[in-house]
Every structure is written in structure tokens, then in C-alpha cells.
């Protein structure tokens, strides 16, 4: 009877070991697949980035003929505050287009290294706003940095006589 019990235990242990080895092989195969996929993606990315050097293509890359102003930066704004209406800040961007940022209670606003409330942001302030586009074509602001006024910045530069 002990021999039968030992034989059953041995069979169960053998089965468990075979299942564990099989599981390890499957996990290893997936890992190799992921590694190969990453290498292929990296190669494709680098090939596209270096196309002009490898094949004598356009110096600015394949898409170099598109003017930058054709693309709207949907995740950020840099410019001058032109109006503040409740939680909406209208910015005159670098491309002279007006863009709206929506401020929420989760928005972090800073000037220098100090956190500030929305009420501290004034018309004509220069700001950098980073966020996410919403369905209304606005930017839901996550972070707003109020930049120093150009005159005070120039005073700092003049002070150090750069």
C-alpha cells in the first residue's frame, strides 16, 4: 500500500513539474516575442529618422515639406493672456491664434517656484499652459506657469551685464 501511495505522489509531483516547466516555456516564448517586437519597432523608428541619410532623401525628413503652422499644438499653449472669463483663460499664442485653456481645481499654477491661485493671473501675463485637448477644442489645463514680465527679466539681465 505504501508503494502505491509513493507511486501516486511521484506521479503528482512529476505532473506538477511538467506543468511548471511548460508554463515557464510559454512565459519565455512570450518574453522573446515582446523582445523581438521591441527590436523591430526600434529599427523601424530609427530607419524613418535616418531615411534622408541612408537614401539621400530630403534633409528635413519625409514630412519636412509641411509648414509647422499647419499643425495645432493640442497639449499646450505659450503666449499672452488676453482675457480671463471665470475658469477660462484666452491666450494669444505664438501663431497669433487665440486659444482657450480651462482651469479646474486640479490645475497647478505657479510663478517662479510659488503656487498661486487663478486670481493672481492677470491680462497681459505671459504663460505656459500644459494640458489635454477636450471635445470643445480647448485645453484642459493641468499646469500653468506664469513667466516673469519681460521688463523685469531684462532688468535681471542688465544687472548682470551679460
Question: Does residue 11 register a pLDDT over 60?
Answer: yes
Q: Could you tell me the pLDDT band of residue 107, with boundaries at 50, 70 and 90?
A: very high
26, three cell numbers:
510559454
In whole angstroms, give the CA distance from residue 140 to residue 74: 10
Amino acid 29: pLDDT: 94
Amino acid 64: pLDDT: 53
Amino acid 22: pLDDT: 95
pLDDT per position as a tens digit, 55-100: 554 555 545 554 544 445 667 888 899 999 999 999 998 778 888 9
Give residue for cell 510659488.
114
Amino acid 14: pLDDT: 94
Amino acid 6: pLDDT: 83
Task: Read off the pTM.
Answer: 0.51
Q: Could you tell me the pLDDT band of residue 142, with boundaries at 50, 70 and 90?
A: very high
78, three cell numbers:
505659450
In whole angstroms, give the CA distance from residue 114 to residue 119: 14
pLDDT per position as a tens digit, 15-65: 999 999 999 999 999 999 999 888 888 877 776 666 555 555 455 554 555
Amino acid 148: pLDDT: 82
DSSP 3-state assignment of 99?
A: strand
Question: Does residue 135 register a pLDDT over 60?
Answer: yes
Amino acid 62: pLDDT: 47
Amino acid at each position: 500500500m505504501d508503494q502505491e501511495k509513493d507511486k501516486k505522489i511521484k506521479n503528482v509531483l512529476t505532473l506538477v513539474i511538467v506543468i511548471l516547466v511548460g508554463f515557464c516555456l510559454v512565459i519565455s516564448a512570450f518574453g522573446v516575442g515582446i523582445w523581438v517586437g521591441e527590436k523591430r519597432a526600434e529599427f523601424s523608428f530609427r530607419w524613418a529618422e535616418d531615411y534622408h541619410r541612408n537614401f539621400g532623401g530630403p534633409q528635413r525628413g519625409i514630412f519636412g515639406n509641411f509648414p509647422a503652422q499647419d499643425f495645432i499644438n493640442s497639449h499646450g499653449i505659450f503666449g499672452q493672456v488676453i482675457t480671463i472669463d471665470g475658469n477660462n483663460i484666452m491666450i494669444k499664442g505664438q501663431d497669433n491664434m487665440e486659444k482657450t485653456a480651462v482651469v479646474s481645481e486640479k490645475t497647478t499654477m505657479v510663478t517662479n517656484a510659488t503656487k498661486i491661485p487663478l486670481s493672481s493671473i492677470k491680462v497681459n501675463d505671459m504663460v505656459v499652459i500644459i494640458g489635454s485637448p477636450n471635445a470643445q477644442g480647448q485645453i484642459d489645463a493641468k499646469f500653468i506657469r506664469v513667466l516673469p514680465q519681460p521688463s523685469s527679466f531684462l532688468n535681471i539681465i542688465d544687472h548682470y551685464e551679460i
